[in-house]
Amino acid sequence: MDILQRPLVVRVAQWSTYFALLVLMLGAYTRLSDAGLGCPDWPGCYGQLDVPESTEELKRAGEAFPDQPVEAEKAWKEMLHRYFAGTLGLLILSLAILSWRRRAVPGQRLLLPAGLLLLVCFQALLGMWTVTLLVQPAVVTAHLLGGMFTTALLWWYALRQGDLFHTAEALPPMWLMRRAAVGGLLLVVMQIALGGWTSTNYAALACIDFPGCYPGNRWPAMDFNAAFIIFSELGVNYEGGRLNADARTAIHMVHRLGAVLLLLYLGGLAGGLMRSDSPLLRGIGKLLLLVLWIQLGLGVSNVLFSLPLWVAVAHNGVAALLLLTLVTVNHLLNREIEEALP
């Protein structure tokens, strides 16, 4: 079915997914360029809806925030992310309204768009707490996960409501593959959480070599006790990180081990899909393997080339694509179960 022939609610869900991916990339760019505190307040910036630029505006900003001088470049990065995130919120609101207006249409989903609306409101709160709690790692990681969940649920809604892979093809019974796909989805979510924890604790460069951590030292000293303390002290500025080197190394190495586990597991899942009798599943299996290897290459490049900004941002974006691929795999393999869901 051509995209223009699909119901408006499905088209809004599709374009909202693409826009959510853009917001994710902008959020990663803001965080990785150390602009997360470019504006010390929320939702505005130094008490206004754009960045202070005139002499009078800069004077008022200095009086209101004497300890945080205006850095226009960082502030604009932060505000652009907020503008785009706000636009995404409006798209999701329109999706919920359109879904409600179609409530009499057989098969129209209502619970999922309502849940998305609640999720994006919670995302706004996490965005506020990211600033007011001074980029506390647990909050920033939760904000990243919330963005990933928002994108994945938008895509799932489009898949369910629009039947984007419309086909008369009856998929063969694949009991084991269905459960493997669910396991793969959970592993991807866990690895994204570990990646967020690595980034927000500034542990991406705790190791500078690959496959070992340091030249001649494959398994250095690590402090696991300090590495995974979720609830940190309040009122402390976490920009730049506050963990000791051994704790950061522990976080980095756990993320690496998770990547190895994910490579083996999803590689096996992709191989099983490519051996299917279904051309659709074989194609999805090839796509999964391609995205997986791209993500692995970006992760290794982050280490070997000292975290280039564009590579780190791409690593976040491809993680989202990997998540969407797993959502698609689960949708295709579990359509009968999905039909029973509201």
Task: Kindly report each contact of residues 300-307 with a partner whose C-beta sits within 8 Å and lies 24 or more positions away, as own/partner.
Answer: 300/210, 302/204, 303/204, 303/205, 303/207, 303/208, 303/209, 303/210, 304/210, 306/205, 306/208, 307/32, 307/204, 307/205
Is the link from the previous residue into 211 a cis peptide, with omega within 30 of 0?
yes
pLDDT for residue 301:
97
CA distance 187 to 183: 6
Contact between residue 75 and residue 45 where contact means Cβ atoms under 8 Å apart: yes
Rounded to the nearest 5°, which phi and psi values hold at 105?
-75, 125
Q: How many CA atoms lie within 13 A of 40 on its CB side?
A: 14
Contact between residue 253 and residue 260 where contact means Cβ atoms under 8 Å apart: no
For the chain, list residues with pLDDT below 70: 1-5, 166-173, 336-342
As given in the structure block, the two tokens for residue 299 are: 């992760």
CA distance 140 to 135: 6
Signed CA dihedral, 173, 175, 178, 180: sign only: negative
pLDDT for residue 333:
87
pLDDT for residue 1:
46
SS3 content of the chain, % helix, strand, coil (to 5): 70, 0, 30
Any catalytic annotation for residue 71?
no
Please, what is the end-to-end C-alpha distance for the chain in angstroms? 24
pLDDT for residue 174:
72
pLDDT for residue 3:
52
CA distance 335 to 332: 6
Residue 115 CB neighbour total at 10 angstroms: 15
Contact between residue 40 and residue 131 where contact means Cβ atoms under 8 Å apart: yes
As given in the structure block, the two tokens for residue 178 are: 């269905």
Q: How many CA atoms lie within 13 A of 220 on its CB side?
A: 22
Task: Tell me, rounded to whole angstroms, the distance of Cα 5 from its chain centroid.
Answer: 30
Nearest residue to 192 via CA among 25, 298, 301, 322 = 322
CA distance 167 to 159: 13
CA distance 17 to 154: 6
Residue 289 CB neighbour total at 10 angstroms: 18
pLDDT for residue 277:
85
Residue showing tokens 């994910």 = 262
As given in the structure block, the two tokens for residue 44 are: 């505005």
Catalytic residue (one of 53, 63, 78, 338): 78
- What DSSP character marks residue 244? -
pLDDT digits 0-9 by tens, 318-341: 999 999 999 999 998 887 666 656
